Structure 1
Amino acid sequence: MPGFPTYHALGAMVLTVGMFIAFARGRIPTEIVSLATIALIALGLFFFPLDPLHPTDGLVLAFSGFGHPALITICALMIMGRGLVVTGALEPATRFLDGVWKINTQLGMLVSLLMAMLLSMMVNDTPVLVLLLPIFVALAERGAMAASKTLIPLNAAVLIGGMATTIGTSTNLLVVSIAEDLGMAPMRVFDFTPIVAITALVALPYLWLVMPRLLPDRGTANLRQHRAFAATLRVDDNSDLIGLTPRDLEDQLPDNFRFEGPLDRQITANSRLPVSGSHRALDEAMRLFKARVAPAWVIERLNAAAQSQQADVVVVEMAITPGSRLVGLTIPSSGVAGQFGVAVLGIHQQERSPDRGRHEYSELQLKAGDVLLVMGPISELEEFAETDRLLMLEGAKEVPRRSKAVLAGAIMFGSVATASFGLWPIAIAALGGSIAMFVTGCVKFDRVGRALSANVIVLVAASIAIGRLILESGAAEWLGLVMSSGLQFLPPAAVLAAIMLFVTLLTNFASNAAAATVGTPIAFNIAQTLGLPAEPLILAVLFGCNLCYATPIAYQTNMLIMDEGGYVFSDYLRTGVPLVVLMATTLSVLLVMFYM
């Protein structure tokens, strides 16, 4: 048995436990805990240095995370992920998924899980879930499988796919980077993908058939209700709709979309058809029918204004207050397009007008409480809301720059492909890809803040610092000796399972990034002590950090679905613990088969 740890090692372990407790309790924001951890390391090592001859080395260690290649890579991938989202590069996949669900619910669920796994292999987990989440909410609202039964399985599929490559999650990059710092050979993007792919096939029946049955059916009462906006569909001269009638198009209509008024009138060039639908349905109808819901001159004007300002075009809902000058006016008589350079796409009325369906929405008289669907640059929208006393509601949505969707997809594919083939490190590939996103306009410089997460940046920096402290203080070596004394009599599969479950426990009740930085050096030291290859033990840590299904605080996507599905803590525990046991067992056996 190893002796008592040094006071530096003991201090490192106490600080780590304190950080875990602070993360788990959740009373102090993550970024505050992270910054406090960095400050305590800097102060502690300055007054009690590891090397008395070089007291300032502690400052270098404490702040080393901010310049670490892993953090730079994570930020670059966040930027590229935003490029895919704002250009709508992933929209074809979402439309395909929507169509499959209409064929069969069980088939839709299976295809959804597979698609979530595949997408999250290349794109960070959070953007993938953010992209798919509205589809599942909309399906639930239309009477398909309740969101409370689908969102936890979807989230689990995203997390499983994310563990399949080094770039699937920021935690994977962190583990691989720390392992390289410790002296292990670099891992390529797809080195351990076959192991995760086999495990995913084992877990898939549980996600698909069992997990939804373990979750309650809370219906859709807790979900957001989408407003139906009255609008005018404008047909161009070269439209495929010319010569048809609205009745001819009934089988093609998006959900939550309808034609108002007579359905047998023939559509001609420049027809203006009264319609109604949710924002998403109107957007889908414009894409499907190649039509517009705003005058061409207004759209051209606001696009030109957005381009000159280097600003994004967004769509936002605005409620008319009793003191607004718009009360009693119509959209044309208000002059908002000419005065503010914004386009009113539709009107949601609190009380349905008896004239709706016989006249265009623009002829409807506005009332207090009506909600306008307005598009334009954010500065013009804010001026419009302030001047005319409108209340901007939550949920502003950027209009995708679809003309750059293929380019954004090509940049992401090129970055991933070159890194996977070992042409250069993932940090260089990701930096090159993010710069290409900027240069081509897929991501705008003034929107970088929306791509980067301050919480993630500070958390990763603190995790790197605490990991280095655990290593250089001797704490990792001491913990490795303690664990080795108990693990030396176990078979390799049990050793791997024990390490994986230990890291999983930390992940589900604290930060997976912090668990990674603590677990990686410990696993490396255990490998050296027991004479085992380091790579499978490092992968056991990487996989354990991704087995974060059992609590809502384990990962940010777990929190993201909590409100939408109406989940409570026990829902995660009931479905997540069996999945953790299944995944840990399968992964441990496969690691032995592949590496030992």
Structure 2
Amino acid sequence: MPAVTTDALVVFGIVLLTLVLFVTELLPIDVTAIFIMVLLMILGPDGVVNLTRISTAEGISGFSNPATITVLAMLILSSGISRTGLVQILGRKMAAFAGEDRNRQLLATIGVAGPVSGFINNTPVVAILVPVITDLAHAGKTSPSKLLLPLSYASMFGGMLTLIGTSTNILASDVSARLLGHPFSMFEFTSLGVIVLVAGSLYLMTVGPYLLPERVPVEDDYVQEYAIEEYLTEVVVEPDSPLVGRTVGTAITHVDFDADILQVVRDGDEFIEPLGQLTIRAGDVLRLRADRDTLGRLVERDTLTLTGHPPQTGEELEPESETAQTLVEVVIPRGSFLAGKSLASSTFRQRYDANVLAFRSRGETVRDHMDRRRIRVGDTLLIQAAPDSIDRLADNEDFIVAHEPDEPHYRTEKIPHAVAIMLGVVGFAAVPWASVGEALVAATGVGAFTALGALSLPILVTALAGVVAMVATGVLAPTELYDAVEWDVIFLLAGVIPLGIALEQTGGADILGALVAATGTVLPAVGVLWVFYLATGLITGVISNNASVVLMLPVAVEAAGRIGADPFSFVLAVTFAASTAFLTPVGYQTNLFVYGPGGYKFTDYIRVGAPLQLFLSVVTVAGIVVLWGL
């Protein structure tokens, strides 16, 4: 057993602090990563005291790390593909194939999400397909709860098909190169990825339907689904009401009253233009969202009379007119300007002229005092807005609208360009051009074919070249490059990479590796490999998948060396396990995307994900042993 040094204990303490901050979300995940980076440098040789052995150069090395830059480029390329509407078109073809048969709907969901996620970052794939699958479910009289969690899981399976399927693979490749001198090639583990995709898909098709609940009713009625009937009411404005002559936007002060004016009915006509500037008149019927206590105070203060006919369904809040305000769910992704803010502190209502009727947060439905609640990543807002406002929300990467717009703004004419660029990015990085050149020289005797070896380029180079090509061909506008990047992911990578280096340099990885290797006295090498897979999967369920890879890979390599096993097999086990965050909604961003629209509870992920995690642990470990050995 290696000696436990003060340096190693300090780094263990920082790792523990990192885990606590990730789990509790006291700080945003990217801010936590930067904090850890700063802490490592303060306690390094260039700081106050040298305990972490991380110099300033090493502390900021995550920003220039090839994995970080490659992930940044791949996020931009994925955004370019999504803006062409290619994935949405595939989704529509999927819907046409599926019809109203639930098994075909499930097969189509997995069949599109899985393979596509092998070549486009799986996070935007799920963001794109959430509205497609939701519409498919409602059209086919199926609960979205039966399809959305399989969508997220299938995207994780697909992410393991290629190097570029997920940022975790790219980061693991970089760590593997540093520890073993063996980075991943483009299709290094595709054979195992196909096995996992097929096995996981069979589970979702056979066992999954029995375990998945129907949390969201088949009928598309948001009022009843969110149980907000008692929060909706109608009042008549009396002639002596102080509201007469005031605009809708200023009639009710949100600071004083937890209420919203949703609609104004005047002489039988429902006003459909943005209500903020509409002047209230005597006799107007106001449809309100308010709890009973607030309603009582409003009626008493503002001389309002209850009509006795409050709206009870979504149809009553969605008039027949094509331009009328409608109800729609909106999911908050990472990087949204709303994440971390409250509705009161943001400009959401003013910017989009939309009312929030309720929202789901970590399985809880919030119906009152919403202005005071902090919006979190993965929260789903039930909003009422005009079609043009909903279109603006759909076009904004700050939101995922769980309903496809009637007239989406896709650049379908750029599909050939985007596909050609992605083929180039993959082809130049994956094809063994040197071997092809040698084969052609042998076959033809033309020595010039040896020059083909120069076409073999690192994925970092081809991905950045693809970004330039996306802009040059008009697939992406230059100003869209920055919006395409999930900056929290970039800062997360930049922050956790030096933590992994500190774990190695202080001997912390050696200590942990020796502890795990001790299980080799009672378990065979394949048993230790399985332990690493399960441990990584559990850690990924509560912290970022990228952080789990950085922390677990050095330990896995050390443990493999101590028991005389192949370290690369252990690297593969950790890499695959880090993309199997099936147990919780917070371990993987795609799980958060479907949390609200699927109406899931936290326990649903355990009920469906735990058997899947165990099943794939056996399949993956067995596949590694057969394909790579120990």
TM-score (norm 2): 0.68
Q: 1:25 to 1:323 in 2, by over 3 A?
A: closer
Aligned to 1:500: 533
Which of residues 557, 561, 564 is equivalent to 1:528? 561
The separation in 1 between residues aligned to 2:351 and 2:584, in whole angstroms, is: 43
Mapped contact 1:199–1:586 kept (Cα < 8 A): yes
| TM-align CA RMSD | 3.0
Cα deviation, residue 215, structure 1: 1.8
1:403 to 413, 423, 436: 413
Change (3 A) 1:322 1:522: closer
CA separation of 1:351 and 1:536: change in aligned 2, threshold 3 A: closer
Which residue of the other structure, out of 292, 298, 321, is the alignment partner of 2:275?
321
Secondary structure class of the residue paired with 1:123? coil
- Residue 482 of structure 2 aligns to a residue in which SS? helix
1:587 partnered with 2:597: no
Find the residue that maps to 1:122 and give its secondary structure: coil
Q: Give the deviation of 1:58 after TM superposition.
A: 1.4
Q: Secondary structure at the match of 2:528?
A: helix
In structure 1, the partner of 2:303 is none
Q: Deviations over 1:477-499 (max 9, x none)?
A: 12112211222542232121111
What is the match of residue 236 of structure 1? none
Contact 2:216 2:599 in 1 (8 A): no
1:16-415 to 2 correspondences below 5 Å = 16-45=15-44, 46-49=47-50, 58-102=55-99, 104-220=101-217, 319-321=273-275, 323=277, 393-394=389-390, 396=392, 397-398=394-395, 399-415=409-425
Q: What are the Cα deviations for residues 199-256 of structure 1, in whole angstroms up to 9, with x where unaligned? A: 3222222111221221221234796869xxxxxxxxxxxxxxxxxxxxxxxxxxxxxx
- Structure 1 residues 500, 224: closer, same or farther in 2, change over 3 A? farther
Distance (whole Å) between structure 1 residues aligned to residue 626 and residue 318 of structure 2: 67
Instruction: Indicate which of 605, 608, 613 corresponds to 1:572.
Output: 605
**1:345-494 equivalence runs, <5 A:** 393-394=389-390, 396=392, 397-398=394-395, 399-422=409-432, 423-494=456-527
For residues 384 and 575 of structure 1, the distance between their equivalents in structure 2, rounded to whole angstroms, comes to 37
* 2:101–2:140 Cα contact (<8 Å) kept: no
- Distance apart, 1:449 and its partner CA: 2.6
* Change over 3 Å in CA distance of 1:574–1:383 after alignment to 2: closer
CA separation of 1:224 and 1:43: change in aligned 2, threshold 3 A:
farther
Q: Which amino acid aligns with 2:424?
A: G
| Whole-angstrom distance in 2 between the partners of 1:551 and 1:202 | 21
Q: 2:590 aligned to 550, 557, 571, which one?
A: 557
**Equivalent pair of 1:140/1:220 in contact (CA under 8 Å):** no
Match of 2:357 in 1: none
More moved, 35-44 vs 108-117? 108-117
Q: Are the counterparts in 1 of residues 75 and 121 from structure 2 also a CA contact under 8 Å?
A: yes
Kindly state the Cα deviation for residue 405 of structure 1 after the two structures are TM-superposed. 1.6
Matched residues in 2 for 1:222 and 1:425: separation?
A: 50
- The code of the aligned residue for 1:412 comes to M
Instruction: Check conservation: 1:508, 1:554, Cα contact below 8 A.
Output: yes
Find the aligned partners of 1:140 and 1:219 in 2 and give their Cα distance.
10
- Which whole-Å deviations, capped at 9, do the CAs of 1:106-149 have from their partners, x for residues lacking one? 12311321221101111111111112211211122224321111
**Of 498, 509, 513, which aligns to 2:542?**
509
AA aligned opposite 1:192: F
Give, in angstroms, the shift of residue 444 of structure 1.
Answer: 1.4
- How far apart are the structure 2 equivalents of 1:66 and 1:509? 24
Deviations 1:449-494 (A, max 9, x none): 3211121011111111111111111111121122112225422321
Instruction: Tell me if structure 2 keeps the 8 A contact 1:164–1:197.
Output: yes
Q: Which amino acid aligns with 2:151?
A: L
2:8 corresponds to:
9
Range moving further from structure 2, 398-407 or 466-475: 398-407
Taking structure 1 as reference, are residues 477 and 136 closer, same or farther at Cα in structure 2, changes over 3 Å only?
A: same
For the 8 Å contact 1:61–1:469, the answer to whether it is kept is no
- From the superposition, tell whether residues 519 and 100 of structure 1 become closer, same or farther in structure 2 (CA, over 3 Å): same
Kept after mapping to 2: 8 A contact 1:120/1:161: yes
Distance between the aligned counterparts of 1:92 and 1:201, measured in 2?
Answer: 24
Give the C-alpha shift of residue 321 in structure 1: 1.7
Per-residue deviation, 1:595: 1.4
With 396-405 and 564-573 compared, the bigger mean Cα shift is at: 396-405
Does residue 542 (structure 1) correspond to residue 542 (structure 2)? The answer is no
The 8 Å contact of residues 196 and 620 in structure 2, kept in 1 or not, is answered as yes
Q: TM-score, normalized by length of structure 1?
A: 0.71
| Cα separation, partners in 2 of 1:352 and 1:484, compared to 1, 3 Å | closer
* Cα-to-partner distance string for 1:83-108 (whole Å, 9 max, x where unaligned): 01112122331121011111633123
Contact 2:318 2:326 in 1 (8 A): no
- Consecutive unaligned residues in structure 1, runs of 5 or more: 227-317, 328-347, 373-381
Aligned residue for 2:541, secondary structure, equals helix
The CA distance in 1 between the partners of 2:176 and 2:211, in whole Å, is 38
Q: Secondary structure at the match of 1:572?
A: helix
Tell me which amino acid in the other structure corresponds to 1:166.
Answer: L
**Secondary structure in 2 aligned to 1:565?**
coil
| Distance apart, 1:383 and its partner CA | 11
The ranges of structure 1 where at least 4 consecutive aligned residues each deviate by more than 6 angstroms after the TM superposition are 221-226, 348-351, 382-385
Going from structure 1 to structure 2, the CA distance change for 1:496 and 1:224 (only over 3 Å counts) comes to: farther
Distance 1:383 1:589, change over 3 A: closer
How far, CA to CA, are the matches of 1:383 and 1:489 in structure 2? 62
- For residues 515 and 577 of structure 2, the distance between their equivalents in structure 1, rounded to whole angstroms, comes to 20
After superposition, the Cα gap between the structure-2 partners of 1:87 and 1:225, relative to the gap in structure 1 and judged at 3 Å, is: farther
Instruction: Show the counterpart of 2:228.
Output: none
State the AA in 1 paired with 2:83: V
- Once the two structures are TM-superposed, the CA of residue 533 in structure 1 deviates from its matched residue by 1.6
Report how many residues are paired.
Answer: 457
SS at match of 1:42: helix
User: Conserved in 2, the CA contact under 8 Å of 1:22 and 1:33?
Assistant: yes
Which residue number in structure 2 is paired with residue 375 of structure 1?
none
Any gaps of 5 or more consecutive residues in structure 2? 224-271, 282-314, 328-349, 354-385, 396-408, 433-455
Residues 432 and 198 of structure 1: is their aligned pair in 2 closer, same or farther, counting only changes over 3 Å? same
* Structure 2 letter corresponding to 1:417: G
Aligned-residue offset at 1:384: 12
Could you tell me how far apart the structure 2 residues matched to 1:204 and 1:391 are? 37
How far 1:60 sits from its partner (Å)? 1.2
Counterpart contact for 1:21–1:510, Cα < 8 Å: no
Say if 1:402 and 1:481 are closer, same or farther in 2 by CA, change over 3 A. Answer: same
Matched-pair contact (CA < 8 Å) for 2:60–2:498? yes
The alpha-carbon distance between structure 1 residues 402 and 7, as it changes in their structure 2 partners (threshold 3 A), is same
CA distance 1:50–1:198, shift in 2 (3 Å): same
CA distance in 1, matches of 2:574, 2:121: 19
* In structure 1, distance between residues paired with 2:107 and 2:388: 39
Q: Residue 509 of structure 1 aligns to a residue in which SS?
A: coil
Letter in 2 for 1:442: V
Q: Secondary structure at the match of 2:188?
A: coil
Conserved in 1, the CA contact under 8 Å of 2:95 and 2:108? no
